[in-house]
Chains A and B, each alone.
Chain A
Amino acid sequence: MQVQLALSKPVPTGLSEELIKKSVYCSPHLKALSISADGATAVLTIDREDQAAAVSDKVSRFIGVTIKGYRKFDRKVVFQNDIAPVYFANAWEELLRRNWAYDSGFGQVALAGTGFDLFRYFEDVFVRMAEEAFRARHYRFPTLIPAEILGRCSYFSSFPHAITFATHLHGDYDVLDQFSTANKEGPLTFPRLDALEAPQYCLTPVVCYHCYRTLQGQHLTPEELRVFTAVGSCFRYESHNTTTLERLWDFTLREIVFVGSREAVKERRQVCMDLVAEWLKRIGLRVTFETASDPFFTSDFSERTYFQLVSDLKYEMRVNVSPERTIAAGSFNLHNDFFGKTFDIHSGNGAAFSSCIGFGVERFVYAFVCQKGFDPAGWPEEVQRFVKDPS
């Protein structure tokens, strides 16, 4: 059924897309949301009539809180590789047909053959950049991260919708015996609701938090700059927005992380932006670097978004997957001294500053085939060199 909701305050121009994307977290009974062009009305598609009032109330509160105090601020484009690729329309289906990718479950994808060769190419580019341009130190971090660390980094309050908790059964003979008996066959069953421990760990949503943790309590000299690089599986729950290789629950994130003085981390971010721009021009991917904000799901959305956008704290690498649509395949981020203060890291006489560059490897693979197609003979020579399995 459809419900028309007259909004007490109209949705500001440019915010509808953000609201629609986040509306998947309002209620499992909300199947779609659209907002009228004038922003005055929301149209809700709800799967159960008896839930209409409750869902409408949630959506109304969600929209009200999100638009409260919103100040429109246009995104700034700082780089554009303005070329016109010939797009491949059904890239996801073609990846599956060629067995370059396998659907491994909700928000999970396996890569194989030339699909994996592309993954290795992108990883090689990022690793070489970290090593050659920044002399980064390599790290390998766990997939689990203590909930206490995410809490300290304000992850729980900023991104509650994206968290993936890790837990286990109670170490209790009766709990384990009942669970084992109930699961001798068939789908997963929990015979007792209290069988699970309260989670103390999560699946990590980012790589860089692990880096700051290694510097806990350290004092860097004013000239000292620590440079990390690491790759890991990261986890962000995306609900109904999960799709193809472009929005996964379980994805691969390569990061280059800088910790030091304000000037040094900002300068390294700019150097990295220039290097990535040069590389993307060389291989001929249509891309735009523009200011962006994180997907905050908080009552102070307007305040956080405004400060991030107006301060140029985040630039996204938005790569086209069609003439009209782009995906954020990576980002260049400044955190000011947030992590320096959070982890008690000093640079000279004050808190250390940090910046990080993140590359979503699967998204690069996806955008690449959308723009370059599936015949390696037509790909740039530096990409072709990675093709071991032309099947």
Chain B
Amino acid sequence: MNTNTALSTSQLEEDLRCLVAETGGIAPAFDPKAHFYDELGIPSVKALHLLYALEDKYNVHVEDQEFIQANTLESLRAMMSHLLEPGN
């Protein structure tokens, strides 16, 4: 069970935007529908760093297959939103 208090959708998306930009080495003003690795140019080797950063920041376990399919900010926000729901 995670220990996070509920975050608003927009707050979560902004937090994730910062995390993705910082971990991936890109500017934070990016299209939320753009593919991290194919379109935003985040090196694929950064994927594992992003995964660990998510798990550390939110104190959750992220399933690998779900993580790799959450390859846009929108899909990442949806996945994390679900993970952070009370009871998960």
Contacts and interface: CB of A to CB of B under 8 A. Distances in A.
A350 B46 CA distance: 22
Contact of A311 (B39, B49, B51, B68): B68
B45 A69 contact: no
B2 interface: no
B48 A71 contact: yes
Given A73-B64, A311-B68, A306 B48 contact: yes
A303 B46 contact: yes
A303 B50 CA distance: 10
Interface in A321-351: 336-337, 350
Contact of B45 (A71, A262, A304, A350): A304
Contacts of B67: 310
Contact of A307 (B39, B48, B52, B65): B48
Interface string B11-46: 000000000000000000000000001110000111
B64 A303 contact: no
B65 A310 contact: yes
Given A69-B52, A73-B64, A307 B47 contact: yes
Contacts of A262: 38
| Most B-side CB within 10 Å, residue of A302, A307, A336, A350 | A307
A300 interface: yes
Contacts of B48: 69, 71, 302-303, 306-307
B38 A310 contact: no
Contacts of B37: 336
Contacts, number: 38
Contacts of A300: 45
Given A336-B37, A336-B38, A337-B38, A303 B68 contact: no
Interface residues of A, number: 15
Contacts of B52: 69
B47 A303 contact: yes
A300 B48 CA distance: 10
A310 B68 contact: yes
Interface string A303-318: 1101100110000000
A71 B51 contact: yes
Contact of A303 (B38, B39, B49, B65): B49
A312 to B, nearest CB: 9
A52 to B, nearest CB: 34
A73 B51 CA distance: 13
A230 B46 CA distance: 34
Contacts of B64: 71, 73, 310
B41 to A, nearest CB: 9
B38 A306 contact: no
A350 B40 CA distance: 12
Nearest to B51: A71
Nearest to A298: B45
B19 to A, nearest CB: 17
Contacts of A350: 38-39
20 contacts: A69-B49, A71-B48, A71-B51, A71-B64, A262-B38, A302-B48, A303-B45, A303-B46, A303-B47, A306-B48, A307-B44, A307-B47, A307-B68, A310-B47, A310-B67, A311-B44, A336-B38, A336-B44, A337-B38, A350-B38
Q: Lowest 6 A-B CB distances belong to which pairs?
A: A303-B45, A307-B44, A306-B48, A303-B48, A310-B68, A310-B64
Interface of A: 69, 71, 73, 262, 300, 302-304, 306-307, 310-311, 336-337, 350
Given A71-B51, A303-B45, A306-B47, 17 more contacts: A69-B48, A69-B49, A69-B52, A71-B64, A73-B64, A302-B48, A303-B46, A303-B48, A304-B44, A306-B48, A307-B44, A307-B45, A307-B47, A307-B68, A310-B65, A310-B68, A337-B38
